[in-house]
Amino acid sequence: MSFAAGAPGRQTVPLKGSRWFFILSNTRFQTKMMISFSFIMFLTISIFTVFLHLNVFPQLKDEITYSNLELCVKTSESLDNHIEKIDDITKKLISNKTLMQILTKANSGYLFDSYEKLDNDRRLSDIVANTIALTSLSSLNINVFSDDERYTFIYNKNSSNLRVMLEDPYYVEKLNQKKLTIYHRQSGNFEEEFSISFVRPFYDVYSKKYGYVEVEETDKHLKEICNIGNVGDVIIADERNQIVYVTSPVDQKTREFLLAASQHDDVLEDESGNIYFCSTSSYSGLTTYVKYDPTTLYSSLNLLEQATYIIVGAVTLISLLLMFFFSQLLVKPLRKLRNNVLQVSYQNMGIKDFSTDNDEIVLLGHAFQNILEELKISIDHEIASSKAESEARLVALQAQIAPHFIHNVLYTISIAAQEVRTGDVVSMCKQLSDMLRYTVNSSAQTVRLEEEMRCIDNYLSLQAKNYEEFLEYEVSLNQRTKDLLIPRLSLQPFVENIFQHAFKASKPPYRILILTAVDGDTWSISISDNGSGMSAEQIEKIYETVDQRKISPRCAAEETAAKAGMCGMGIINSICRLKMIYGDDFNFSIFINETGGTTVRLEGPFQKTGCADME
């Protein structure tokens, strides 16, 4: 069943995607450039914006957070250093023998007369003055009490908080733990005088209590420690999260928030959005909070975001205007260039000169002309190369295995058969068959190194049957070089050369060692023997011959035809074929062994081993 074209009453409606493609394909070049550039700009800005939001700005925010948390930790450490200095003063006082003697006498019920009291005060004043002489805490108020508080010594100002502490079970328990206890005077009014006491009890080695040493001070030193400028407020709380000291008044909501806060978190946030950085001291048990208003903390980051978006918008607008202007300058000479390109044909691969004020378009025309000329040269070279390569393959296939080798193998097989060495006959036939199949059957000119080494191993095994105990050989293949691509039968000439030349003028036992190795991104193949070796002049002559050969597909054909004596393919032929794959990165070297014989080393890079088969 079919329908006639152009039936009345029916219209062909193009698909929506086809309609857009039709519109764009018929749009002017300048319009296409503007649309493409606008799309690219939009995509770039979108990716850039997403990148800023997902990577840059969060990282900057984390850095600001980390910096302020570090400030909080440093403030807490400074507070610990101050408390540690005060603790050192209390430890020195309780270890003083004179003070211990006075308190021992006072605790025994002895009543000092006025002269003795005055003398004790003088002696204790000297002890305290010497203790705090090397510190910067000369304004401290120091009080010494006997256990029953009958004897009291006051240094500087009498502003003790000990009696209040002994009425609070919490502080009594802390004092019974024989460590420094910190007390702060509770005050609901920020303007009232601040007082904080550091109390350490006296105990001897038998855990007998003698009294207390109290170091009391105002907020002078705490103001210096907590002075971080106007960036935030510092709040110091004790182990019960009760506020000890603040740099500015706090409301009841803040007090309730801190009472419920966890001291294990580094960053906290209340209902109003205020951010608290906290650091709890393991030494004093005090927690230092640094409170920030969110608009103040990240104000620089918000300003950076706004500036970034303004700059991106301005750059986008300017880019579009410049694109429009330059596209106008580009369209006219491009049309001239297009007309000249349309005149290019196979018979006339050239562009006529055209005049324009745009130097870049002129250079583009010259570059296009150069490309056409190079393309013509490359086509001619490729045709000649393909022809030469075909000739080389034909000559190589005609003489890949020397007749004398096949004759020797068949002769050895016949002897083994006469001696009823069935296993050797089967093994040699299998190895010879594998060699012939590897040599003739496959059309691929490049093979894996593992296949080439297997063929060499078969060859050496057959030669060993002929030489019997006079030949020792080893073939070692590094696992990383198994899949290395090399020309087919490119290593065979080096091994055959050993039997034809190296072993002719030397005495058995004969030894051959073939190794592959890896050094970084470079592979190497070493072929060593203990034969008669080569002279320095012979090695130099080989190097000169290799340097004089032009690395091209003709190299293999010329060398094969000229030097077919080495089983049909010469050493120079193999080197040329390897250089066809690896170019200047391939290295060929010959060494004279210290113990006699010669080592041939082939080296090349791994990154070029993925070449396609050369056909």
pLDDT of residue 442: 53
Higher pLDDT, 196 or 411: 196
Q: Is the pLDDT of residue 39 over 90?
A: no
Q: For all residues of the chain together, what is the average pLDDT?
A: 79
HEC profile of 26-89 = CCCHHHHHHHHHHHHHHHHHHHHHHHHHHHHHHHHHHHHHHHHHHHHHHHHHHHHHHHHHHHHH
Reported as a single tens digit per residue, the pLDDT across 43-60 is: 888 898 888 888 888 888
pLDDT digits (tens, 9 = 90+) for 154-204: 888 878 888 888 888 888 888 888 888 888 875 545 556 678 889 999 887
Residues in the chain: 615
Residue 399 confidence (pLDDT): 47
- Cβ proximity of 313 and 338 under 8 Å: no
Structure confidence at residue 352 (pLDDT)? 62
Q: How confident is the model at residue 312 (pLDDT cuts 50, 70, 90)?
A: confident
Structure tokens that stand for 372 in this block: 């056409």
d(CA 228, CA 231): 7
Q: What is the mean pLDDT of residues 402-423?
A: 79
Share of the chain above pLDDT 70, in %: 81
Asked if 181 and 239 touch (Cβ cutoff 8 Å), the reply is no
pLDDT value of position 558: 44
Least confidently predicted of 18-32, 327-341, 522-536, 577-591: 18-32
What does DSSP say about strands 598-605 and 522-529: parallel, antiparallel, or unpaired?
antiparallel
- Identify the three-state secondary structure at position 154: strand
Local structure of residue 146 (DSSP, 8 states):
E
Give 183's strand partners: 197
Is 576 a residue whose pLDDT tops 90? no
User: What confidence tens digit (pLDDT) does each residue in 280-300 have?
Assistant: 888 888 889 998 887 888 888
CA angle 467, 473, 478 (to 5 degrees): 155
**What proportion of the chain, given as a percentage, has pLDDT over 90?**
9
Torsion of CA 293, 299, 302, 308, to 10 degrees: -170
Name the band, by pLDDT with cuts 50, 70 and 90, for residue 13. Answer: very low
Per-residue pLDDT tens for 98-115?
Answer: 888 888 888 888 888 888
Q: How confident is the model at residue 357 (pLDDT cuts 50, 70, 90)?
A: low
Name the pLDDT band for 208 (thresholds 50, 70, 90). Answer: confident
Spatial strand order in the sheet of 181-184: 152-155, 141-146, 209-217, 196-203, 181-184
Confidence (pLDDT) at 351 = 65
Sheet holding 522-529, edge to edge: 471-476, 510-519, 522-529, 598-605, 587-592
Most confident of 7-21, 416-430, 456-470, 473-487: 473-487
Q: What are phi and psi of 309, to 5 degrees?
A: -65, -35
